[in-house]
Chains A and B, each alone.
Chain A
Amino acid sequence: MKLSFINAVLSRPIITILCCILIVAGLGYGTSYLTFRGDYKVFFGDNNPQLQGFEEMQKTFNKNDNVSIVIAPKNENVFTNETFELIFKITEDSWQTPYSTRVDSITNYQHTSAEEDDLLVEDILLDPADLSPAKLEYAKSVVLNEPMLVNRLIAPQGHVAMINITVQLPEKDKNQEVLDVVKHVRDMVDKYKAEYPDTDFHLAGIVMMNNGFIEEAQSDAQTLIPGMFLAIFIMLLLMLRSFTGMFATIIVIITSIVATLGGAGLAGFYISTPTVNVPVMVMTLAVADCVHIIASMHYYLRKGLSKNAAITEAVNTNITPVFITSATTAIGFLTFNFSDVPPLRDLGNMVAWGVMLAFVLAITLLPALLKLLPARAIKQTDNSNFMERFAEVVIEKRTPILIGSTLLIVAVIALVPQNKVNDVPIEYFDESITFRQDSDFMDQHLMGVSTIDIEISSGEENGINKPKFIKQLDDFSLWLREQDRIDHVFTLSDTFKRLNKSMHGDDQAYYRLPEDNELAAQYLLMYEMSLPYGLDLNNQLNIDKSAVRLTLAMDNVGSDEILAMEQKVLGWFKDNAPELTVRGASPALMFGHIGDRNMSSMLIGTTVATILISGLLIVALRSLKLGTISLLPNLLPAGLGFGFWALYSGNINLGLSVVTSMSLGIVVDDTVHFLAKYKLAREAGKTAEDAVRYAFSRVGRALWITTLVLATGFMVLAQSAFALNGNMGLLTAVIIVLALIVDFLFLPAFLILTDKKQYPVKESAHAAIQVQN
């Protein structure tokens, strides 16, 4: 059946090629349906409880997506005419930002003061023409003493200031909205950069983060995909040394990518920062298929077979192993569906689909192309001898190898628990990226970008004006400020104190909470009636004044610390104000939770992948024993990889959560090939030693090549400055290399020392070995 299929493909190569092109073109049409989503919310499913909680809070209060413009004058003093005026101008201009609804800075801060018996509420600086040294001194004293501002809009030392633009994105065309905001802000900042060369500007905030996701996806697409083509070109040049083979492989790769993405488009997938690298992965896996078939063809050509016969034989001997390796790889990727992160599920599904497409094209389009193109036997550089010599060394030193490698494996795997799940979106961006540098700068000088919004609900209308509630809010705010790593607490209790003071002739003795329900309510009403457009309290109060939103900013800490802070906050309320309803929400919390939850689900996914793949191996090898033994070389590399990771970084992000499943599906290929040949030799009556020799000589070189190709492909991915992609690529590449080491050292030593029982000799196996030799 196999042969008749191959003959059908080869007898009418043009028809085969046309059919392939037609199907690929048909699928390729689907690429026009592909859209790109760059916002961070793609990482959360619609039913994600944290996302839902966040969206609800955003609807109850206003959205607080923002751009922060951080201003750092080189003379390290914000309180100069020049810089103060600059902040005033940027504040004014920022109102022109698309979708902006609010701009906060130290110049438009609504300062309250007593003027005779009246309450004056106005901007710190209404008109730069008013800027006298006395006014500046006054502004400085007010601003640096206001807890609402210090560490948020002004550094305590007065050397850095921030202008915060809040936008309400309609979320109709999320990318375009983000790009529009960023373009406007960057243009504005560029204008002021030219005007104020002695000032540094930094841009941070949620909108800039979303923009970072978009820009990094673009950058990956623009650098990694061409980089991958270059890497493939070099690899093929080294390994195949045949223009024909290179050309045919590249055609197969291109058609695989087009068909993969087109099919994804037809199926309604969108592209996001993680899935932008689907082409790189599909290319990597497709190259491996092609290289096997082309290398075999050259082998048979050298053996003197005709071109047609060589191609037929190459496809015939490879179709089953290539199918099995593609299937196991696809299974590995399909278990990404256990993930809680939609783009990771998409990544798995798209690559799985791509791998199977590449398989089909490698056994149809590839042989047809090879048939049409000129081919000649390529002289082989003889490193099969090298594999045989290597086999002898392994056989001879099997005991020290087994003991040594076992000890090493145990030691490295013991490091695995040192890793911790850590999903901090800022850390997805490499330190070489401006957005990361800017965010770090802001963290260092003002406040961190890890914020948590806390909704505190009194449970009754106007309950936030009750003295008891205000007291609880204040106690909580004061407690928060004492906690480690807290940079800033934005709380209504400060406003109440300030109002009480200003309502009493700015008497500092009255900088305390109003003690009467009506008084508090009326202060607040008075204050609200005095605030201008865009600077109201609607971002802190819900409409029936039953709840407030407090925002705390932490240093850029790990997600475990953010989750711990959430628990501490909930614990505080349980102990001190159990009657209040409290919940936290923020992008930082969402990422923290998804990181944890996704890790648990991917552990299940990985287990399923292990069971399925081992089952497939048992069937493919037709041996329960070898299938079970294969678990070791299949799983050890991932264990070793994560041990290495504990030394290298120790942070496990969403991208790494899928690495075990993915690498399992890939590295299993080595084991399959090696064990299949080993078993064949054993069944032909050979000893374990001889069977290892045979396996090395038959597949050693092929495994080298596959490992080289795959590791190179994933190393290209590792160049991504976006850590979800970059870390995933790097660790996968490491695991692939480790897998080869395990297969070449540990596995043969283990087989020789443990697999001593005689195999029932099969005549067919004997014949197969004779023919192939």
Chain B
Amino acid sequence: MPLFKFKTKRISTYLTAGLLTAALAPFAQAQTPEEKGLEIAKTRKATDRGWNNSEQDMKMILRNAQGNESVREMRSRALEITNDGDKGLTIFDKPRDVKGTAFLSFSHTLEPDDQWLYLPALKRVKRISSRNKSGPFMGSEFAYEDMSSFEVEKYDYKFLRDEACPVQPELTCYVVESNPKDKFSGYSKTIVWIDHKEYRMFKAEYYDKKKDLLKTLESSEYKLYLDKYWRAHKLSMVNHQTGKSTVLLTDNIRFNTGLTDKDFDKNTLKRIR
């Protein structure tokens, strides 16, 4: 599953962006917040193109309001798909009783995502209803929809303002509101902070259906890969309503490991190690 791919536009992208900005300058006045929000989303997606495939190790640390902790470990693989959403595969290592369980997802830009789960104890692959993406992932504060690949078409956007970035206040961030188009989303809206230069998401606020702040995500420890792609190594999600939180640590990120479409096939999930 591709988790949070934010990467920089290097020289060519800067040039393109510069030219675009120059060309669009005369029309800047006419741009509505919705148009600007969409533009930011498109650029964000565009800056994260061309990575092909990647693998990474992940560790989730769950905390409840009482201060107890619990750890989940997994590996994830991602395949970039042009003209549709990306494909992702997550293999659970810990807890031991779910070791080998594999979660396969095909993001789509327009239709609901496809999700399957391979259960080694049952030796079966089961489809998960596409509507259900808003519940907790592995009991954590992350929902599937927080972790699935970012696709421009899934939301409506509205640019709100510019302000200093969270985590790194020396940078300036676009603050953009996105409203999910899917009625089965668990959220009424999300507000994201994306820095001007590299289009990295530093923070996201998730609002529940009654429009109250539900969770806040902070991304940090960004590293640059292949001189082009920024990846956050630490994601902290805090649930303001229950006092629970989850930290998601990513490690050992590798690109172009030779993954192909065949590695993301529900019929071969049984052989996944």
Contact = CB atoms under 8 A, between A and B. Distances in A.
Q: Which of A118, A121, A522 has the most CB of B within 10 A?
A: A522
Nearest to A463: B97
A517 B97 contact: yes
Interface in B9-41: none
A528 B119 contact: no
B241 to A, nearest CB: 5
A120 interface: yes
B191 interface: no
Given A519-B122, A526-B119, A532 B70 contact: no
A56 B96 contact: no
A517 B95 CA distance: 12
> Which interface class (under 10, 10 to 19, 20 to 34, 35 or more) fits A?
35 or more
B95 A533 contact: no
Interface in A510-556: 516-523, 525-526, 528-538, 541-545
Given A95-B210, A98-B210, A545-B95, A533 B70 contact: no
Given A538-B139, A543-B63, A544-B70, A529 B131 contact: no
Contacts of B63: 543
A59 interface: yes
A122 interface: yes
Given A100-B210, A122-B129, A543 B64 contact: yes
B21 to A, nearest CB: 39
A114 to B, nearest CB: 10
B144 interface: yes
A511 B92 CA distance: 27
Contact of A521 (B98, B209, B212): B98
A543 B131 contact: no
A190 interface: no
A534 B136 CA distance: 9
A536 B135 contact: yes
Contacts of A465: 97
A518 B120 contact: yes
B186 A522 contact: no
Contacts of B243: 59
Nearest to B210: A96
Contacts of A122: 129, 131-132
Given A96-B209, A97-B210, A122-B131, A462 B64 contact: no
Contacts of A533: 134-135, 143, 186, 208
A484 interface: no
A76 interface: no
A613 to B, nearest CB: 47
Contacts of A117: 124, 126
A101 B243 CA distance: 12
A318 interface: no
Contact of B242 (A62, A462, A525): A62
Contacts of A63: 242
Contacts of B224: none
A542 B67 CA distance: 11
Contacts of B124: 117
Contacts of A530: 128-129, 132, 135
B65 A528 contact: no
B237 interface: no
Contacts of B64: 59-60, 542-543
Contacts of B117: 525-526, 529
A143 interface: no
B242 A101 contact: yes
B50 to A, nearest CB: 31
B225 interface: no
A570 interface: no
B65 A59 contact: yes
A476 interface: no
A121 B128 CA distance: 8
Contacts of A100: 210
A537 B136 CA distance: 9
B143 A462 contact: no
A42 interface: no
A750 to B, nearest CB: 61
Contact of B126 (A101, A526, A528): A526
Contact of A522 (B101, B127, B144, B212): B101
Interface string A98-132: 11110000000000000001111110000000000
Contacts of B186: 532-534
A168 B136 CA distance: 17
A538 B136 contact: yes
Interface string A449-467: 0000000000001100100
A503 interface: yes
B66 interface: yes
B95 A461 contact: yes
A100 B242 CA distance: 11
Contact of A525 (B96, B98, B131, B244): B98
A451 to B, nearest CB: 20
A593 B110 CA distance: 57
Q: Which of A56, A59, A96 has the most CB of B within 10 A?
A: A59
B210 A535 contact: no
Interface in A406-461: 461
Contacts of A521: 95, 97-98, 121
Given A60-B66, A532-B131, A532-B132, A543 B121 contact: no
A99 B63 CA distance: 21
A320 B76 CA distance: 86
Nearest to B65: A59
Contacts of A118: 126-127
A121 B117 CA distance: 14
B120 A522 contact: yes
A97 B64 CA distance: 24
A85 B124 CA distance: 37
Contacts of A518: 97-98, 120-121
B176 interface: no
Contacts of B120: 518, 522
Contacts of B136: 528, 531, 536, 538
Nearest to A119: B126
B138 interface: yes
Contacts of A536: 135-136, 139
B265 to A, nearest CB: 16
B146 to A, nearest CB: 11
A462 B101 CA distance: 15
B241 A101 contact: yes
A98 B101 CA distance: 38
Interface in B231-268: 241-244
Contacts of A59: 64-66, 243
A545 B127 CA distance: 24
B62 interface: yes
A768 B248 CA distance: 90
Contacts of B202: none
B103 interface: yes
A646 to B, nearest CB: 44
Contacts of B95: 461-462, 521, 545
A532 B185 CA distance: 9
Interface in B118-167: 119-122, 124, 126-129, 131-139, 143-144
B97 A462 contact: yes
A526 B131 contact: no
B208 to A, nearest CB: 8
25 contacts: A59-B65, A95-B210, A96-B210, A100-B210, A118-B126, A118-B127, A119-B126, A119-B128, A121-B128, A462-B95, A462-B97, A465-B97, A518-B120, A519-B121, A521-B97, A522-B97, A525-B98, A529-B144, A531-B132, A532-B133, A533-B143, A534-B186, A543-B63, A544-B69, A545-B139
Q: Which 3 A-B pairs have the closest CB atoms?
A: A533-B186, A544-B70, A521-B97
Given A119-B128, A521-B95, A535-B135, 18 more contacts: A60-B64, A63-B242, A101-B242, A119-B127, A461-B95, A462-B95, A462-B96, A517-B97, A520-B97, A521-B121, A525-B98, A525-B117, A526-B126, A528-B136, A531-B132, A531-B135, A536-B139, A543-B62
